[in-house]
Amino acid sequence: MSVFKKTLLASSMMLVSSHAFAAAFQLAEQSVSGLGRAYAGEASVADDASVIARNPALMSQFDSTMLSVGAMYVEPDVSLRGTSTNNGVAPNKLDDSSIAPSAVVPAVYFMTPINESLFLGMGVYSQFGLATEFVTDYAAGQLAGETEIVTVNTNLSVAYEVSKEFTVALGVNYVYADAKIVRTFGASPLPVPAATQAMHLEGDDSGYGWNLGLSYQIDDDSRFGLHYRSETDIVFDGEFSNQLPAGAPFNGTAGSTLPGSLELTLPAIAEFSGSHTISESSSLHYSVLWTGWSSFKTLAAEVKGRGTVFSKDENFSNSMRYAIGADHQYGNDLKLRLGIAYDKSPADPYHMSISIPDTDRMWYSFGAEYQVSKNSSLDFGVSFLRGKTQHFVEKDNLGQAWGFESNGHATVLGVQFNLGF
């Protein structure tokens, strides 16, 4: 597939590439109704058709066809400050006030009952994405030039109501993924301009996974939910090139392209949630989400006939996310939401990276749902993400050590339209 066609497909599905604002390059932004609660109770709350993303077993809570269309705007504030070098370059040459672009993350869901016990749903959304970009002559260019991962997940799910209390659901995920990695030579003792491309690799692939959802209604006031999503293996097949001379000692490609590939395993995800009615108009929700990031140990690129041309140890660990939230029915037409969450980073403190900057973060969220008519509603949500400051040193292939202080915050705004018919 040509670069133009890959870019066109990715753009049409995702609008723009997404910077990850859950752990590592995981995206939490699948629904705007959940955004207002900091995604607390996502496997147990039956708000709208977006339940397909986090627990399709909840489709049994609806007795009519529903369509939900939403979009979330992510405004990141990810900055770097240079703290040290070992090659005479002034540390302030590493300063960068904005390494992540803003993004729009869309999603669309449709579900319908087949009969009283069987339900069918389909969703198109994203669960993983990343985009960081540095200037072409960045001093530490070998560590981070341009890094981009875009994924689009198409899910088809079926739910079966075993009893009035218990529902089980099974789904199939088709994941399209597009990746791009560009690295420049950066500052060095060698007579090579800093903006010279040392690596340019981009490609795409698709893979399949599955998901399982369970919903148990204890009584009229309490419900528990459990959802599991399997790993998905992706092998990005594409093109590799650089601007280094073809002869010794660089053995570059001098701008010509060669077949290349990069393997990546999108991790498994499991979530347990509970929802409880605490008064006639108010409900409490909570979630514990586990992500199996231990499958992501190394990011490496292979080129036919040249072996490994890029390798970066990530050494991620499994991560946890904890969220608690509530909603309150304020009058007949307005529902208010709020939530707070703690998102634990999977990054190894001894393998920190400026290409995939990550840190523990807190979510502070607010939202509302307005009933436009008997069969339609609008959701609004906003989240303020605050990450802690990180200090680390990263080395490039020439042994140059670059010290950084990183800060990562973000604001997420969302709107969603829901229509029942």
Contacts of 161 (CB under 8 A, 6+ apart): 60, 116, 117, 118, 119, 167
pLDDT at 324: 98
pLDDT at residue 247 is higher than 70: no
**What does the radius of gyration of the chain's CA atoms come to, in whole angstroms?**
23
pLDDT at 144: 82
pTM: 0.88
Closest CA to 196 of 186, 210, 206: 186
More confident residue, 37 or 144: 37
pLDDT at residue 408 is higher than 90: no
Q: What number is the average pLDDT over the span 66-95?
A: 93
pLDDT at 142: 87
CA distances, 324 to each of 39, 47, 296 (Å): 8, 16, 28
- Tell me how far apart the alpha carbons of residues 380 and 413 are, in angstroms, rounded to a whole number: 8
Q: What is the mean pLDDT of the chain?
A: 87
Give the torsion sign (CA, 214, 219, 223, 224): negative
pLDDT at 9: 31
Q: For residue 61, give the 3-state DSSP assignment.
A: helix
- Tell me how far apart the alpha carbons of residues 414 and 365 are, in angstroms, rounded to a whole number: 11
Q: For residue 137, give the 3-state DSSP assignment.
A: coil
Query: Domains plus CATH for the chain?
Result: 3-420 (2.40.160.60)
pLDDT at residue 183 is higher than 80: yes
Which residue's entry shows tokens 């010279």?
196
pLDDT at residue 351 is higher than 80: no
- Tell me how far apart the alpha carbons of residues 362 and 421 are, in angstroms, rounded to a whole number: 38
CA distances, 21 to each of 98, 160, 208 (Å): 15, 33, 24
- Confidence band of 238 (pLDDT split at 50, 70, 90): confident
Write out pLDDT tens, residues 98-139. 888 888 889 999 999 999 999 999 999 998 887 888 999 999
- Confidence band of 397 (pLDDT split at 50, 70, 90): confident
More confident residue, 209 or 397: 209
